[in-house]
Amino acid sequence: MIPLDVKKTRAISRTLEMPKQSEMPTSKNIYRKILIWRYKYISQRKFIYILSVLVGFLSGVAALILKNLTHFFQHLLEGNLVRYYHNAFYFVFPIIGLAIVYFIVKFILKEKVDHGIPSTLFAISKRKGIITRKKIFASILTAPLTVGFGGSVGLEGPTVATGAAISSNIARLFHLNQTTRSLLIGCAAAGALSSIFKAPIAAIIFAIEVFSLDLTLASLLPLLLASLSAIITSHFFFGSDVLLPFKSEAIFSIKDVPFYIILGVVTGLTSIYFTEVYDRIQKFFDTIDSPIKRLLIGGIGLGVLVYFIPPLYGEGFEVINNLIAGNPEEALKNNFMHLDVTNVWVVIFLLIGLVFFKIIASALTFGAGGVGGIFAPTLFMGSILGNCVAKIINITGFSSVSESNFTLVGMAGLMAGVLHAPLTAIFLIAEVTGGYELFIPLMLTSVISYSIAKYVHPYSVYAMELGRKGELITHDKDHAVLTLMDMNKVIECNFIAINPHMNLGEMIKKAVVKSNRNIFPVVDEETSKLLGIILLDDIRPIMFDQTLYETVFAREVMQKPPEIIEVGADRMTDIMKKFQKSGAWNLPVIENKKYIGFISKSKLLTAYRNKLIEVTS
């Protein structure tokens, strides 16, 4: 984008209305002066670069706050009360945490706190990237309590949601358009992941894959700046500490390819299980109207699971690191059946149990009103799957494989299948391991898992609900533009309606001579229901025959519309298909069976072109 010219700057100055010299300086006047100064001296492109750095920094700070608060609660509760008193606290903590979250949402925030990344996708697709100010603090107040008190979810989603809310409100503060807001939300997502995992390239790819941002130089550089700003912030506060402190040492061997193919199939099938269980439990909780009932059912169910299976407590990165380090016994030593964890088959049995119950625990956490994300549960389950597959291969004597490598590749496989983000999965594991020795198995396993999961579930867990409604922004440019368009802006209401009881003379006198349109809706006066339409061509052969003025009525010459557009039921993609199918230039619009106007093909195509220019600028 080029700097604004002098005329545009003057127009902006007049629009913002500089305060008179006699006026006392106020915050509003200062704000106007800042906006005018920005328009005069900083080009749009440079300003976006500056904001992307700011958004990356703030996302990094959000990650810092969320992590530290969560670890504080977890250390306070699990590290002291459970260790020194009784395991029964494992049952109590999740219920207490979810109850506190419920009261914060009801009495402090006073609005629902949705899951991080799905709510952000919804904001981009249906709210033009506008996120309320309360969302900046919502996840910070609720996610650490959910996870710190034992909720079996992660913090990546809440961190992205917090950063997205910050970036959306910054964009609105400086009057930036919808496309720029969406780009800055993508910068927030990249910054959040970059800060958490110290994986800047994977973070950029995540923003592109999950939020369907265009991979162009105009969008890539802000993402890069945000990711860089966030990782510098993370290093400043956390130093060199990382969530997955592991360096790949075992070298990939071509003889292991069949086993990585098997791992890809296993993670792909488990991705289907993950998505099915998550979706069904969420639908079950949606049928429960009372939030108190949801809290009790979900909280008690989660408490029982965590009491009997303590590794399900919180995010689970400690379990992952034990598996990578080759110490699964450390994570399983407190199993409620007191089984001997020196027996490898017992270890495999217990690990498979963790895979089976982790997604149930996560879904119960969400159903009860907890706030978190599914990124960490995906890594948790994937690491266990990879470790189990490697153990089975080693003890059955088929080959000798690296359990640590399979643990890491398993995480990538499940991430690719559940999140539908294979490139993110590949680069994330490659970056956290500090090298690309595992690149081939990462690619192989991720592609197989993604293909299997995509075949069964076209949309990821993040995008499932929006995808079913056809409201999801995708990399398909045509679909993305249609999704972003607002139907209300293309509805025209300057058509003269005709009563079905009007005779030909009344139609000509009250409608035809007063309208510059060649189509007239026939509407019931009492119910406002659309009964049909009359085209000027329908009455042209008889409109000059005055002998018919009293004998021909509207109900006799009206016809059924070739298609009808219904507000709430039809999306912009459906509307475009109806125009293509019918060949009509104007189609009537109804809402709750009542006529409200028409959409013309010419106005629709003009709006489409304008939105396309806006999206690609």
Question: Which 3-state string (H, E, C) describes 510-542?
Answer: HHHCCCCCCEEEEECCCCCEEEEEEEHHHHCCC
Q: Within a domain: residue 243?
A: no
CB 233 within 8 A of CB 61: yes
Reading the block at residue 544, the tokens are: 């000059």
Tell me, what amino acid is at 441?
A: P
Res. 18 pLDDT band, cuts 50 70 90: very low
Cα–Cα distance measured from residue 340 to residue 129, given in angstroms and rounded to the nearest whole number: 53
Average per-residue pLDDT for the chain? 86
Structure tokens that stand for 20 in this block: 């008179």
β-strand 530-535 against 565-566: which pairing, if any? unpaired
pLDDT exceeds 50 at position 342: yes
**Within this chain, do residues 471 and 499 fall inside the same structural domain, yes or no?**
no
- Whether 1 maps to a domain, the answer reads no
Contact 483, 492 (CB under 8 A): no
pLDDT given at position 15: 46
pLDDT of the residue at 168: 94
pLDDT: which is higher, 559 or 84: 559
Q: What is the mean pLDDT of residues 496-512?
A: 90
Q: Do 103 and 16 belong together in one domain? A: no
8-state DSSP, 487? G
Rounded to whole angstroms, the Cα distance separating 323 from 214 reads 37
- Is there a single domain that holds both residue 370 and residue 492? no
Whether 21 shows a pLDDT value over 60: the answer reads no
| pLDDT higher than 60, residue 511 | yes
Whether 220 and 310 map to the same domain: the answer is: no
Q: Which amino acid is at 175?
A: H
**Whole-number pLDDT of residue 471:** 56
pLDDT band at 30 (very low <50, low <70, confident <90, very high): confident
Asked if residue 345 lies in contact with residue 388, where contact means CB atoms within 8 angstroms, the answer is: no
Quick check: helix, strand or coil at residue 163?
Answer: helix
* pLDDT higher at 566 or 124: 566
Our count of domains for the chain comes to 4
Q: Tell me: the pLDDT tens digits for 270-308? A: 999 999 999 999 999 999 999 999 999 999 999 999 988
Residues 30 and 176 in one domain: no
Q: How far apart are CA 204 and CA 431, in angstroms?
A: 12
Closest CA to 356 of 277, 248, 256: 277
Q: Based on the domain organization, do 53 and 28 belong to the same domain?
A: no
**Residue 207 domain flag:** yes
- What is the reported pTM? 0.81
Q: Does 577 reside within a domain?
A: yes
Within-domain flag for 283: yes
- Nearest C-alpha neighbor of 533 from the set 505, 560, 573: 560
Residues 579/489, Cβ–Cβ less than 8 Å: no
In terms of residue numbers, what domain contains 592?
Answer: 481-616
Comparing CA positions, the residue from 584, 581, 494, 580 lying closest to residue 535 is 584
531: domain CATH number is 3.10.580.10
**Residue 342 and residue 450 in one domain:** yes
Task: Report d(CA 472, CA 196) in Å as an integer.
Answer: 26
Task: Find the mean pLDDT for residues 512-522.
Answer: 90
Query: pLDDT tens for residues 356-404?
Result: 999 999 999 999 999 999 999 999 999 999 999 999 999 988 788 988 8
Q: 246 lies in a domain?
A: no
Three-state SS at 565: strand
Say if CB 546 and CB 526 are below 8 A apart. Answer: no
- Asked which of 121-125, 192-196, 228-232 is least confident by mean pLDDT, the reply is 121-125
Answer for the pair 391, 403: CB distance below 8 angstroms, yes or no: yes
CA distances from 33 to 25, 45, 269, 306, 589 (A): 10, 20, 58, 56, 44
Say if 244 falls within a structural domain: no
Q: Give the amino acid at 402.
A: S
Question: Which of 455, 475, 495 is where one domain is finished?
Answer: 475
Last residue of a domain, one of 430, 457, 475: 475
- Choose the weakest-confidence range: 44-58, 59-73, 406-420, 543-557: 543-557
pLDDT in tens, 441-451: 999 999 999 99
Residues 404 and 294 grouped into a single domain: yes
User: Within this chain, do residues 203 and 142 fall inside the same structural domain, yes or no?
Assistant: yes
Q: What CATH number is associated with residue 426?
A: 1.10.3080.10
291 and 168: one domain? no
State the Cα–Cα distance between residues 132 and 152, nearest whole angstrom.
27
Report angle CA 325, 330, 332 to the nearest 5 degrees: 120
Q: What is the pLDDT of residue 85?
A: 55
Of the residues 189, 207, 238, which one is the last residue of a structural domain? 238
Same domain, 330 and 308: yes
Which residue is listed with tokens 């098997």?
A: 262
Residue 360, pLDDT score: 95
pLDDT at 444: 95
Q: Provide the pLDDT for residue 12.
A: 46
Mean pLDDT of 453-463: 88
Residue 102 pLDDT > 90: yes
The pLDDT value given to residue 22: 44
As beta bridge partners, residue 589 has: 565, 597
User: What is the percent of the chain with per-residue pLDDT over 70, rounded to a whole number?
Assistant: 88
The token pair that represents 449 in the structure block: 């898992």
3-class DSSP state for residue 216?
coil
Residues 261 and 394 reside in one and the same domain:
yes
3-state secondary structure of 441: helix
Residue 247 lies in a domain: no
User: What is the average pLDDT across 72-93?
Assistant: 73
Between residues 294 and 617, the one the model is more confident about = 294
Q: Which range (46-50, 328-332, 565-569) has the least confidence? A: 328-332
pLDDT exceeds cutoff 50 at 144: yes
Residue type, 541: P
What does DSSP assign to residue 250?
A: S
Nearest to 59 by CA among 233, 202, 177: 233
